[in-house]
Amino acid sequence: TGNTVIKAIAVLKEHNVREENIILSNLFCTPPAAKTLVTAFPK
């Protein structure tokens, strides 16, 4: 569902990391999870 990644990004943002500076690397991602992630963090 992408919820773990969303939580991880939220924690980074709480520590003042800009979305533009976050790089996500993963092996597998479902289309719904990708959509959820891009919707939550569009940058």
- Give the pLDDT confidence of 11-35 residue by residue, as tens digits: 999 999 999 999 988 888 899 988 9
Whole-number pLDDT of residue 42:
85
Number of domains in the chain: 1
Q: Which structural domain range is residue 13 located in?
A: 3-40
pLDDT band at 41 (very low <50, low <70, confident <90, very high): confident
**Global confidence as pTM:** 0.75
Whole-number pLDDT of residue 17:
97
Residue 33 and residue 13: Cα distance in Å, rounded?
20
Whole-number pLDDT of residue 31:
92
